[in-house]
Amino acid sequence: MIYKFLWVCLASLALSACQTASKIERQNTSSDLQKSSEEVDIDTVEADTEQLGFIDTVPPIDATAEEEEAIKTEPVIANSEPKVPEDIWERIREGYQLNLDIDRPRLSSQLRWFSSHPSYLDRVSKRGERYLYYIVDELEKAGIPTEIALLPIVESGFDPFGYSHGRASGPWQFIPSTGQMYGLDQTWWYDGRRDIIGSTQAAIAYLTRLHKMFDGDWLHALASYNSGEGTVLRAIRKNRKAGKPTDFWSLDLPRETRAYVPKLIALAKIIKNPEKYNYSTYFIPNKPYFDVVNIGGQLDLAQAAEMADVSIDEVYLLNPGFNQWATSPDGPHRLLMPVSKAKQFRTKLAEIPSKERVTWVRYTVKAGDNLLLVAKQHNTTVNVLQDVNKISSTMIRVGQELMIPVAGNKIESYTLSSHQRLLAKQSRAPNRNRIKINYTVNSGDSLWLISNKYGTNSKTLARWNNMGLADPLIPGKKLVVWLKPKQSANSTRSVMKKVVYTIRSGESLAVVANKFKVSINDIRDWNPKVGSKKYVQPGDKVTLLVNVVGG
């Protein structure tokens, strides 16, 4: 009907133009009669297109009354830009690419767990609020399904400091070797596996390579991200040889991997249709949380927090790659800051001379000092002391002066530094009535030997000390062991109480054991430092677990 309307308009214009042309022609004829003695050059006459309009030879078409009415009521479609989602979850949904129309028992069990734990979903969403916008933005640039933005929930629960017994670290849980392969440095100062920008870029590069390796099969790529491409390739070859399907659901994979992909798909299904699973997503604005500030060199993190007017914890949570009280002297020389604070931080940073961005002390070497001891006393490394003081060897001499970078605030105030996180972890009892044993690693020790001695297992011991099972045990390292109280065989009921007892003059461990109805071996286990002595001395303190009900 629109086309017919256009034809009507064009025909009307044509008729009007013809009438105008006829009028002009008559005027010209009249003028020629008056100028009979003059010759007119027709080739020099130009048509007045503005006056003539557009001339068309298409015959007019009459529109019916019904068509004219339809033309009047035809809706006008305005060109408008697509609406930008206000919620990051909506943006994630728009970028879905995986097939979520799957019904498998393994998937159903994961759906049941997540949908019955909405508080967990809220908790990980709040943790991820700082990072999700950046992750989604980078995934879109790389053309990767935005369901992958949920992978850090499966990997680490969006805990940037997450560390597994398999030595995987950071939000994307890179093991040391894979991290190094993708340029994630791991030093005393800095661990790139926890760096938000570095680890996200590495994860995208790794996933892209896996996706290409498995001919565009994202489920195979995700399974390989968890257990390694070799494991998945072997499972595919095994099924192909046996004439079985080679899709992810048909492969014989490790138990963890068999649950890994269903976890991601379950999360994606819940985020796609939260109402179906009686869940309401935690609102996260679809806008940048942080800005990247170039700091140009090393900077004390407490000083950075003060300049930006944010908490020291916020600085660490946005920059979890930094292990110590300052950024790494070797870089990266950048800090992520909340968008609302970045301008203020840049302004104040520009006002501070580079020499004042880290606190320095002058130390005079004493007899018995060595470079390692001095470094430990000042919470730094031998390499840093060598670099700062232009020392090519570890030899130092009495009276020599060293310049040492130190924390500007009390070391305890850097609450999320590597050392403070370890102390906090070791101070948290797994449950009540456990007794804490401080154990110093000896030459030849292993996690298995220590855990066997105290009636636990290597995995639990590693978890208590925020370690991986393959982490090296260096002599002198401090570990904690949380012992279970032993229930008396003569008592059906026990209420264990922790008691710190001071040895009195004339007492031995046997006397103390008899007094509190415990064994000497238990006292030695509970107190390795005192228990290793041949004789105890008055004033020595021992920690005991005493059954206050059983006598």
Directed axis angle between helix 218-227 and helix 255-272, to 10°?
130
> How many whole angstroms separate alpha carbon 127 and alpha carbon 82?
30
Q: CA 450 → CA 189, 434, 443, 530, distances in Å?
A: 29, 17, 12, 17
Amino acid at 403: M
Q: Is the peptide bond before 332 cis (omega within 30 degrees of 0)?
A: yes
**DSSP string over 37-50:** TS---GGG----HH
* Coil/strand/helix, residue 191: strand
> How many whole angstroms separate alpha carbon 46 and alpha carbon 50?
12
Tell me, yes or no, if 155 is annotated catalytic: yes
CA angle 256-261-262, nearest 5°? 95
Inter-residue contact 450 to 406 (CB < 8 Å) = no
Q: CA 354 → CA 296, 297, 346, distances in Å?
A: 9, 8, 14
Tell how strand 359-364 and strand 334-338 pair up: unpaired
Inter-residue contact 136 to 95 (CB < 8 Å) = yes
- Token duo for residue 426: 């070791």
Q: CA 271 → CA 86, 129, 268, 367, distances in Å?
A: 15, 15, 5, 64
How many angstroms separate the first and last alpha carbons of the chain? 101
> How many whole angstroms separate alpha carbon 234 and alpha carbon 378?
50
Q: CA 466 → CA 321, 341, 425, 463, 522, distances in Å?
A: 16, 33, 7, 5, 26
- Token duo for residue 299: 């900077």
Q: Is residue 245 classed exposed, middle or buried when 0-12, 13-18 and 19+ CB atoms within 10 A define those classes? A: exposed
Catalytic residue among 39, 68, 155, 507: 155
Radius of gyration of the chain (CA): 38
Which residues are designated catalytic?
155
